[in-house]
Structure 1
Amino acid sequence: MNQPALKKYPVGIQTFSKIREGDYLYIDKTEYVYRMTHTNSVYMFLSRPRRFGKSLLTSTLHAYFEGRKELFEGLAVEKLETEWTQYPVLHFDMSLGKHMDKDALTRYLHNLLQNNEIRLGIAAREAQDTNIRLTNLIMDAYAKYGRQVVVLIDEYDAPVLDVVHEDRDLPALRNVMRNFYSPLKACDPYLRYVFLTGITKFSQLSIFSELNNIQNISMTKEYAAICGITEEEMRTQMDADLDVFADKLDTTKENLLDKLKSYYDGYHFTWPSPDIYNPYSLMNAFGEGELNSYWFGSGTPTYLIEMLRKYQVAPQQIGGRKVRQENFDVPIERMTNVTPLLYQSGYLTIKDYAAFAQLYTLDIPNREVRLGLMSNLIQNYVPDTEPVGTLLGLMAEQLHNDNMDEALHFLQTFLSTVPYTDNTDYEGHYQQVLYIIFSLMGYYVDVEVHTATGRVDVVMRTAHTLYIIEVKLNKSAAEAMQQIDLKHYDERFALCGLPVVKVGVNFDSERHTIREWTIDNGINGSLL
């Protein structure tokens, strides 16, 4: 069939003018731009995960405040704006200010200031301190153009984010940034609008300690969908794209939507909120015509893995958290556990809210993030991760055919050949290994599942079967199965709608693999 002509997908493009002039697909967010700039608040802050559209939103604000009306033809703001006043705009992109010491960071800030001076045609006044130079720039721009100045700061926290887990470098870098941002309050009479984006909140950066009138719109319901793509936006603004994509995968549009939802949907930054799709992953998926791990594959921040280690968070402990807002929407420097970082970085999102208890349920957003997390965490359990992909394929094939016995044979062989890792002398280590392996295969898996008589070590569900798995270390598979039977664990899942299969597994701490297992269909396996 003849396919309609589609716009190009703006993969990696974060400049509004380039998208509009290059006839790329643009999901219209300009109604939000008008709303943001026509409130009583002059200072606004938005937190969203990386690659979630913050830079594009900032660029859109830049074009709007420069009065570039031609770029907004056909968009929502065209019907709302009547004046299109031109303001001098200072635009600071902090995303490249990473992995620097304080001297390099100071030079980087001077370079950003110089770029803005050149763009606005303002002669630089001699100033060694970045805050003085920024003050001069704001006042000189105000004097030259006769209008208040707009300041846009994108990824304000980038220079300090990668050292948030360190005590050595963070204070010095934080002081450099605090000094740079300090003029924003003093220059208030000269400012029309100030907008800052970032991933996290830092309590001791001056934008939060001094700008006490800054409006944080990160969890404001009216801005819930300001970044990302909603299903309604996809169905209306990408309807033809869905048809083409479905044809590529030889499936129906509704089946494709189900897959896209499973992989890339599920984000909520307030409650209630529409489902938000990851825009970076979605654009890549449509552009490539494949469902892959794009957001996570674009780079896992070092600080995330380091903080999970620092707070000793086991893989199965990442999701399923019930917390109050003050326990996750807090400045990173005040956090006492890893929850705020996981939420603000996009690895957890809001899944529910109990108004009476004022408790939010935070969980992993979708399949892409879950698989990405497990892929990174498995190296803590299996140092040589290269053969893992083959193992997952072999095990998945067997479990698809309800052959748990052969799947455990593959896992046993694999574990017996990988290098030794530390901390393998407790049952929880092997429970975590099973959790990660089953998660990487895309199955539902949970650990320490409560029943009326105890807790099941591992519950795993495939399309056809629910498995109850009891793990022992240096004991016997028979003891594991006996515990399942004595405590009647299977009764807890009698109404699940799937056949329930009981599995007892015994690991060997000396050989670091499965010694033996027994399955309630009479199949037994052991280490040769």
Structure 2
Amino acid sequence: MKGSNEKTIKSLPIGISDYVRAQSEYYYVDKTLLIKEFLDRRPLVSLFTRPRRFGKTLNMDMLRVFFEISDEDTSRYFADKAIWNCGEEYRAYQGKYPVIFLTFKDVKFDTWEATIDKIRGLLQEEYGRHQELLDSEKLSQYEKIYFTKILDSSANEVELTSALERLSKMLAAHYGKAPIIIIDEYDTPIQEGYSKDFYDEIIGFMRNFFSGAFKDNKNLSYGFLTGILRIAQESIFSGLNNLSVNTVMDEEYDSFFGFTSDEVKKMLEYYGMSKKESELKDWYDGYLFGSEEIYNPWSVINYISRGGIPQAYWVNTGKNEILEDLLKVATDDITERLYALLHGERIIARIDQNVVYSSLTEEPANIYSLLLVAGYLKAPKKELQADGSYLCEVSIPNREIAAVYKSEILSHFLQVGVITRNTANKIAESLYANDYKKLQNSVAEYMDKSISFYDGGTEGFYHGLMLGLIALMDNQYKIKSNRESGDGRYDICLIPREEKYPGIIMELKWKEKLSEAALVSLAEEALVQIDELRYDSELTEDGIADIIKFGIAFSGKKVCIKTK
């Protein structure tokens, strides 16, 4: 498209992870100083852990293009980038190494057989990029036979485990220089293995696969890996004492994954959308990598390309298995904390960066560590502990992630049967149509469904109840609760976000082993209490005239609701 000064406005690189295309055909945020920082530090093997869709694959492809020996002059792809201004000492590394590059970001299958087939295909592609080795006089015949096996997909599982080690040896022999090995999204198939029950198979394979590539491999110049988790406890990298791990908690490389505030400001100026900065920040900022404030790059790009329509773009890029697992193992304490997080509060959590998926069922508190590294939480305050873990204040980063929590909570409640789709639709329709009577009936139905699912009379029940309400009604209401200790009473106040909706007050009471008549009496008592103690004063002070009042009584699995 053209701007007012007739200059061509570049498109945004939605889903583009090819560095050459991204920097030539699209608006490219220059991250080439990652190369300088690496060359200044020069660890043998680097692991970068960041949430999905934060630019890991594009950065790894950038490293490949920069370092890889090529028939064409690839320096032209960096001549106008920041790295080129850093001097000859950095430019000297450009185009000087053979490179092995694999990305596992699309290795998402339901079975181990399909997974190993996909890995076999990825290795076939990568060996295919290096077919010059078949004509090399520096390779022995048995090496070429192995190479051909990978090319024609006839290598068995055991032979595949040594594919990186053997390819690195062949490249080093042919070029007289040890290669760089880049593995992108190394833990994607591991996460799939955990959720689809082939965990032992994938862990066993990866242990041998990576060990040959990175442990005591004299045919390795440098190694790079990216992922969401650092899976040290699984001993995938056991004995790999040359591994430098960089996580969201570290200050090194903190500005190279995701967009910084300055980068977002420049992008908005370029597209003539500077007035949208506040909304963009509210929705997609809030991450903290090291000490750098970071925006979600996927969401920023989508938001700008759609002309500034705020949506939860990131949630639609893949399943949120980690949140699903959270809801499956949530204890009363976790449910209560999740409720606090959704209300914008900070909670204290111990963050262990070595957590693994399999530890969730044994220790549900590990969920906070997983949520942090996966991009569902941020840590505004952190304190390193003697055992290497952190004690952190954590909170939800921004409005987009709050929306993700709510949609996952709602889908979970629908899935396990605490809410039916019909009930959810009734509440949505009654709110849309401003039909108070239908709303009363819908909320009563929701309460009834909830009590049949939860153990009534426990804290977890009440918090689960409110999480469901938040998920169902958050677009129309701000939900407040005031729990009073001692008598098991909960007050819930739903404050409308727009004048057209009624205010809602709920007084919840419960007692054990009540008769039907006593249950009705308790519900009526709750309703009277709303008026007597003027629970609606906050709403009336805000000018809300239409108020629905619910007196709700529980006893075991029974519920009685009185409204007015």
TM-score, normalising length: structure 1: 0.80
Deviates more, 1:98-107 or 1:465-474: 465-474
Deviates more, 1:82-91 or 1:121-130: 121-130
Contact 1:139 1:190 in 2 (8 A): yes
Alignment of 1:315-326 (within 5 A): 316=339, 320-326=346-352
Equivalent in 295, 298, 306 of residue 288 of structure 1? 306
Structure 2 CA distance for partners of 1:237 and 1:311, relative to 1, 3 Å:
same
Supply the AA of the counterpart residue of 1:82.
Answer: R
**Other-structure match for 1:69:** 75
Deviates more, 1:205-214 or 1:58-67: 205-214
Contact 2:282 2:398 in 1 (8 A): yes
Please say if 1:106 is aligned against 2:116: yes
After superposition, the C-alpha distances for 1:393-446 in whole angstroms (9 at most, x for unaligned) are 863897xxxxxxx768525436638995651562514333323234344x5545
Supply the AA of the counterpart residue of 1:505.
Answer: F
Please say if 1:395 is aligned against 2:398: no
Please say if 1:215 is aligned against 2:221: no
Offset at 1:62? Answer: 1.0
Please say if 1:515 is aligned against 2:561: yes
Secondary structure of the residue that 1:9 maps to in structure 2? Answer: coil
Looking at structure 2, the residues matched to 205 and 362 of structure 1 have their Cα atoms a distance apart, in angstroms, of 26
Supply the AA of the counterpart residue of 1:188.
Answer: N
**Other-structure match for 2:140:** none
Please say if 1:261 is aligned against 2:297: no
Please say if 1:436 is aligned against 2:462: no
Deviates more, 1:227-236 or 1:62-71: 62-71
Please say if 1:190 is aligned against 2:226: no
**Other-structure match for 1:278:** 296
Looking at structure 2, the residues matched to 85 and 77 of structure 1 have their Cα atoms a distance apart, in angstroms, of 14
**Other-structure match for 2:263:** 233
Structure 2 CA distance for partners of 1:186 and 1:160, relative to 1, 3 Å:
closer
Please say if 1:381 is aligned against 2:400: no
Contact 1:27 1:233 in 2 (8 A): yes
Contact 1:430 1:507 in 2 (8 A): no
Q: Percentage identity across aligned positions?
A: 24
Offset at 1:356? Answer: 10
Secondary structure of the residue that 2:180 maps to in structure 1? Answer: strand
Structure 2 CA distance for partners of 1:202 and 1:354, relative to 1, 3 Å:
closer
**Other-structure match for 2:47:** 45
Contact 1:297 1:372 in 2 (8 A): no
After superposition, the C-alpha distances for 1:349-379 in whole angstroms (9 at most, x for unaligned) are 2233468996312222211121122122213
Secondary structure of the residue that 1:505 maps to in structure 2? Answer: strand
Please say if 1:330 is aligned against 2:359: no
After superposition, the C-alpha distances for 1:8-60 in whole angstroms (9 at most, x for unaligned) are 01111111111123x20111111123212331311111111111111111111
Q: Which has the larger radius of gyration?
A: 2
Structure 2 CA distance for partners of 1:240 and 1:471, relative to 1, 3 Å:
farther
Structure 2 CA distance for partners of 1:321 and 1:82, relative to 1, 3 Å:
same
Offset at 1:310? Answer: 2.7
Structure 2 CA distance for partners of 1:41 and 1:334, relative to 1, 3 Å:
farther
Looking at structure 2, the residues matched to 438 and 296 of structure 1 have their Cα atoms a distance apart, in angstroms, of 19
Secondary structure of the residue that 2:163 maps to in structure 1? Answer: helix
Supply the AA of the counterpart residue of 1:432.
Answer: L
After superposition, the C-alpha distances for 1:145-175 in whole angstroms (9 at most, x for unaligned) are 1212111111101112034256x42112211
Structure 2 CA distance for partners of 1:348 and 1:499, relative to 1, 3 Å:
farther
Secondary structure of the residue that 1:26 maps to in structure 2? Answer: coil
**Other-structure match for 2:149:** none
Secondary structure of the residue that 1:476 maps to in structure 2? Answer: helix
Offset at 1:448? Answer: 5.6
Structure 2 CA distance for partners of 1:436 and 1:107, relative to 1, 3 Å:
closer
Q: Give structure 1 stretches of 5+ with no counterpart.
A: 246-252, 399-405, 518-524
Structure 2 CA distance for partners of 1:227 and 1:100, relative to 1, 3 Å:
same
Looking at structure 1, the residues matched to 473 and 217 of structure 2 have their Cα atoms a distance apart, in angstroms, of 55
After superposition, the C-alpha distances for 1:260-299 in whole angstroms (9 at most, x for unaligned) are 11211111133x332x111111111111222222111233
Contact 2:351 2:368 in 1 (8 A): no
Offset at 1:305? Answer: 0.9
Structure 2 CA distance for partners of 1:207 and 1:329, relative to 1, 3 Å:
closer
Q: Give structure 2 stretches of 5+ with no counterpart.
A: 135-143, 147-154, 511-518
**Other-structure match for 1:116:** 126
Contact 1:200 1:332 in 2 (8 A): no
**Other-structure match for 1:174:** 203
Offset at 1:481? Answer: 6.7
Structure 2 CA distance for partners of 1:460 and 1:420, relative to 1, 3 Å:
closer
After superposition, the C-alpha distances for 1:46-105 in whole angstroms (9 at most, x for unaligned) are 111111111111111111112622112322111123212421111111122222533333
Structure 2 CA distance for partners of 1:230 and 1:453, relative to 1, 3 Å:
farther
TM-score, normalising length: structure 2: 0.75
